[in-house]
């Protein structure tokens, strides 16, 4: 059990380190669809951040945790009407675009690219994963799935996270028993498959914007 708890504690360590690296040159970050347990609140940071979410209860939980410096209750599908162009150094969106149709997600991505001066960072599952509403939040439903090619076609550099895709179920939990063995294998495979996103559970997409 101690080994399992340690693995659970460090299962997002690679993601955290990458975020810290790519956000190191930013002073302001917009967390799009921040949720109640944003990764922004779990990394070492020097930048100021703002979180936006459409679900009031979720946003209040994030506010209580003091995850961000500022908070906004709002619909991220209308992001361009809520923020000015080039108003943040970076936009980060973790497990959000899959909650919209492909058409609406593409609009959201374009909006983030307008708002961000330096970069946009997106995390989404590799392919479609069925998910219904939970925690009293109807916005948790998944409506689209994304591939490495989808994101590369938009100009993003794509990496793999959470290890080999087949080791996890649709909830990202380890699929097989004993958990200790397969969990440790998934932990190791994340490093191996980081440059092989097509075989990984999650896709991490990063786009550096060239703006004058």
Task: Say how far apart CA 17 and CA 165 lie, in whole Å.
Answer: 21
Measure Cα distances from 7 to 13, 40, 168 in Å.
Answer: 10, 20, 14
Q: Distances in Å between the alpha carbon of 123 and those of 33, 113, 165, 176? A: 12, 15, 15, 24
Q: Which pLDDT score is estimated for 210?
A: 80
* Residues of the domain holding 36: 2-208
91: enclosing H helix or E strand: strand 88-94
CATH code of the domain in which 112 resides: 3.40.50.150
Burial of 5 (0-12, 13-18, 19+ CB in 10 A): exposed
pLDDT of residue 139: 73
Give the mean pLDDT of the chain.
92
Chain segment 51-110, per-residue pLDDT in tens:
999 999 999 999 999 999 999 999 999 999 999 999 999 999 999 999 999 999 999 999
Question: Exposed, middle or buried, 56 (CB in 10 Å: 0-12/13-18/19+)?
Answer: exposed
> pLDDT at position 137, please?
72
Q: How high is the pLDDT of residue 180?
A: 86
Contacts 24+ apart (CB under 8 A), 137-140: 137/55, 137/57, 137/58, 139/54, 139/55, 139/99, 140/99
Write out the two tokens for 22. 């790519």
Strand-pair category, 28-32 with 48-53:
parallel
Query: Cα angle at 111 between 27 and 144, to 5 degrees?
Result: 115
Question: Looking at the 3D structure of the chain, how many domains does it have?
Answer: 1
Q: pLDDT tens per residue, the chain (212 residues)?
A: 565 556 556 678 999 999 999 999 999 999 999 999 899 999 999 999 999 999 999 999 999 999 999 999 999 999 999 999 999 999 999 999 999 999 999 999 999 999 999 999 999 999 999 888 776 677 788 999 999 999 999 999 999 999 999 999 988 889 999 988 998 899 899 999 999 999 999 999 999 998 76
pLDDT given at position 147: 98
Q: Is residue 127 within 8 Å of 177, Cβ to Cβ?
A: no
**What is the reported pLDDT for 125?**
97
pLDDT for position 183: 87
Phi-psi region of 136 (alpha: psi -120 to 50; beta: other; left: phi over 0): left
Query: How much is the pLDDT for 153?
Result: 98
């Amino acid at each position: 059990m101690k080994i399992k708890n340690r693995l659970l504690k460090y299962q997002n360590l690679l993601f955290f380190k990458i975020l810290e690296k790519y956000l190191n040159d930013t002073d302001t970050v917009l967390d799009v669809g921040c949720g109640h347990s944003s990764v922004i609140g779990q990394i070492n940071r020097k930048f100021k951040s703002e979180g936006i979410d459409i679900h009031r209860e979720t946003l209040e939980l994030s506010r209580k945790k003091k995850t961000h410096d500022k908070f906004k209750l709002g619909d991220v599908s209308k992001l361009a009407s809520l923020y000015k162009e080039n108003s943040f150094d970076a936009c980060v969106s973790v497990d959000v675009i899959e909650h919209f149709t492909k058409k609406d997600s593409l609009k959201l991505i374009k909006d983030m690219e307008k708002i961000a001066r330096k970069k946009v960072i997106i995390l989404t599952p590799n392919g479609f994963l069925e998910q219904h509403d939970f925690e009293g939040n109807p916005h948790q439903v998944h409506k689209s799935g994304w591939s490495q090619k989808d994101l590369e076609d938009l100009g993003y550099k794509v990496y793999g996270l959470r290890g080999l895709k087949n080791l996890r179920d649709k909830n990202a939990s380890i699929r097989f028993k004993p958990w200790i063995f397969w969990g440790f294998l998934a932990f190791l495979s994340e490093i191996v498959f980081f440059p092989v996103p097509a075989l990984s559970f999650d896709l991490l997409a990063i786009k550096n914007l060239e703006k004058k």
